[in-house]
């Protein structure tokens, strides 16, 4: 199971890979720098889902739902099925 700590680490990694400072990603996502810092460090132990989605999007990422124990997303499976129909 993915924990909030895992998500915080994913956010830090996504921001780092996009070569963005906390201030830069905050501006792109329309949140404060302190919100970014709080989410990366779990200062309050919770996260705003809408802010989290905007932050990942600002770093060039999209969240996908993956069934536990699987590597492929539902989108991956549907794309494979569509390509087999062509």
Give the residue from 78, 58, 75, 79 showing the smallest Cα distance to 14.
Answer: 58
Domains and CATH numbers, the chain: 4-85 (1.10.260.40)
- pLDDT greater than 80 at residue 74: no
What pLDDT was estimated at residue 86?
56
Q: Which tops the pLDDT comparison, 26 or 75? A: 26
Q: Per residue in 19-63, pLDDT tens?
A: 999 999 999 999 999 999 999 998 777 778 889 999 999 999 988
Taking residue 25's Cβ as centre, other Cβ atoms within 10 Å add up to 22
Cα end-to-end distance, the chain, whole Å: 36
- Better-scored residue on pLDDT, 28 or 69: 28
Contact indicator for 49, 56 with CB cutoff of 8 Å = no
1 has pLDDT over 90: no
Helices (H), strands (E): how many in the chain?
5, 0
Tracing tokens 């990603």 back to the chain, one arrives at: 25
Q: Residue 11's closest CA among 47, 30, 78, 70?
A: 47
Q: What is the pTM of this model?
A: 0.73
């Amino acid at each position: 199971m993915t924990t909030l700590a895992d998500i915080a680490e994913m956010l830090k990694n996504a921001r780092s890979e996009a070569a963005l400072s906390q201030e830069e990603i905050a501006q792109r996502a329309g949140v404060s720098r302190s919100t970014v810092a709080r989410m990366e460090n779990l200062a309050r132990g919770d996260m705003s889902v809408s802010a989290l989605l905007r932050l990942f999007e600002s770093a060039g990422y999209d969240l996908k739902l993956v069934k536990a124990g699987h590597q492929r997303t539902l989108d991956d499976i549907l794309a494979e099925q569509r390509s087999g129909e062509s």
